[in-house]
Structure formats: C-alpha cells, structure tokens
Amino acid sequence: MENDFEKKLGNLKTPGADQVKHQENLKIGLMNARKSSKIGLVFILVPAVFVLIAYIKFQFIMSIDLPATFQGILHETDHASWLRWVVPIVFLVVPILAAIVNLLAVSHFQIDKKTKEVIITVQYRLKNLIVLFISIAIILSFWCFIIFGYVHFK
Amino acid sequence: MNLAEEKELLRNIKENPERFGDLFDAYYKPIFNYIFRRTGNYDISRDIAADTFLKAYLKVQSFVWKEISVQAWLYRIATNEVNYFFRRDKSARLVQETFLLHAEMLFEFDDYKTEKQLLEDELKQDEDFAKVQRCLKQLDIKYQEVLSLRFFEMKSILEIAEILDKKEGTVKSLLSRGIEKLKSLFNSAI
C-alpha cells in the first residue's frame, strides 16, 4: 500500500512555467544592483565625510577656546573663492546625482502598447531607497538654507 | 549544463561578474518552478526567486568548487529561502502576502496576468498535486524539503544529499518517514 502511495507521488503531474516571462525584468535589476549600490555609496560618502571633517574642526576649535582664531578662520573661509563652488557641488550636485542614479536603480518603466500605458514600478531595495531618501534630505536642507538667507552667492 | 560547463562558467563569472547573467538564464526557470511547487503562490515564488538569485550573485565570487555543483548550490539557497519563509511567524507571512496582493496592481500588465493565471490555473486543475502540496505544508520543514526535491523535482537521493548537505542515509530515512506521515495526512484529508 505504501509502495502504491510512493508510486502515486512519483507519477504526480507537477505544475510549472514553460516560459518565465518576468525573468528578463528581474535580470536587469539584478545585474545592476551591485553597481548602483556602490555608486550610491560613493555619492553619499563624499558629503558625509565633508560634514564630519567640518564638525570635528569646529569642535576642536571650540574646545581650546580660541574665538579669535575661529573668527579668523571663518573670515578666511568666507572669502575663499573655492568654497563658492565646492559647497553647491557637495550639497547639491552630488546628492542630485545620487538621487537620480538610485531612483533609476529602483524604478522600472514599461510601455504597454495595447492599452497605451506607461507602467512604472518601484522595486523594494532598501540600500538604494535609504541612499535616495538621504540624498533628497540633503538637497532639501540645502535649499532651505539658501531660501532662509544663510548663504549668499555673489 | 553539465559539470564541466558549470566549472567553466564559474571561472568566467569570477573574471567578469557580468557573466552571472548566463547562470541566471540557465537556472532561473527550474529554480522558480521549484519554489512555486513548494509555495503554490506565484507572487511569493517570484519574490523568493529574486532573493535567491540576489544572494547567489553577491556570493558567487566566494563560491569554491568542492563536491557540490552550481545547480545544487542554487537549489540549496532556494530551499533555505523557502524554509525561512515557512518558519517566519504567521503575522510576518500575512503582511508579506497582503503586501503582494496589493502590489499586484503594480504589475498588472498582460504578461504578468497571463503568466500568473496560467500557473495558478494549472495548480488548481491538478487536484492530486494540490492536495499533496496542502498536506506537505503541514509536515515539518525537514520532511517538506526532502519530499519536494524527490517527488516534485525528481532529484536522486545523491542530489538531495548534495543540496541539503546531508548524508545519503539521513535523506533515505527522512524520505521514508516523510512518505509515511504524508500518506496518513493525505488519506485523512478531504
């Protein structure tokens, strides 16, 4: 009797797809996952390192209590011509690029010719989404900073 | 793909990771079908298959050729992913199932509907398989994995031992006890 059941299991007709059409869509995302994560990491590390260095420098100057030196450095930095270019690049251009790269990594566009629709899907990839949100936060903070008049471009 | 071809492809992947696409093309279908036969849900199978291949892609550089073939290695990752899905507490599974149910709206293009419909119809039509699958899900994971590999995937004892990293004797004994348990559930099921 047990052999009959085993035979029955052996002869089971198993369901399965002959052609898996979603395979190609998945492949595109998979093959780009590592690349886009690395690029995103680089783009987020640059402003993060910049902020960290600025913070450490600020803390160090405050702790040795040299307001005159601090003011002098600020005065010099304020007049440094390179800063006018570096700040917008680090806080605006780089996060915008990071946001674009990561947005492209998680989104997928498909045109359905029959119904004349563009189907946009967003894949759930935590690393890319975190980088995307951090980039957007940096861009928004920087814009708020400009709007409230703390930074003046000459 | 035979062992020599797999070995060659693995060497190529280590030199150029883009060649992982060839491995993906060769094994996606059998792995997806295996996951579908175990879970019986198209969306969950798609999700688990994606996780399986992402893990394989990230770990393939450290894959060392020993006794186990690449195909068996992929089956092993897929088996672990399916087991993880079944072992998770019910609330987490419910959240995932509900999310995927609503996420269907995102994938509502013709190919998706047709593919999903065809597979799920096929599953419904074959009553015997559907009943075996339902009963199988009630067994311990250790029996589920050996029985599904043996009777859904038609793997030999040796192949199952490779995939599950168990001794052949252990696989045989798990199979024999598993069949017994499955039979009693099958006979008592409506």
CB contact under 8 A, A17 and B33: yes
Compute the half-sphere exposure of residue B57: CA atoms within 13 Å on the CB side of its CA: 26
ipTM value of the model? 0.71
Share of chain B above pLDDT 70, in %: 86
What spatial distance separates the first Cα and last Cα of chain A, rounded to whole Å?
Answer: 91
Residue of A nearest to B37 (CA): A15
| Residue B103: pLDDT band with limits 50, 70, 90 | low
Tell whether B127 lies on the interface with A, counting CB pairs under 8 A: no
pLDDT tens track for A19-41 = 777 888 788 878 877 777 777 77
In whole angstroms, give the CA distance from residue B185 to residue B189.
Answer: 6
Residue A44 has pLDDT above 60, yes or no: yes
List residues of chain A with CB under 8 Å from any CB of chain B: 2, 5-6, 8-10, 12-17, 20-23, 26-27, 30-31, 33-34, 110, 112, 114, 119, 121-122
The whole-number average pLDDT for the span A118-141 is 83
Return the closest-CA partner of residue A131 out of A72, A45, A73: A45
DSSP character for B9?
A: H
In whole angstroms, give the CA distance from residue B187 to residue B190.
Answer: 8
Return the closest-CA partner of residue A29 out of A108, A97, A103: A108
pLDDT value, residue A80: 67
pLDDT tens track for B139-178 = 999 999 999 999 999 999 999 999 999 999 999 999 999 9
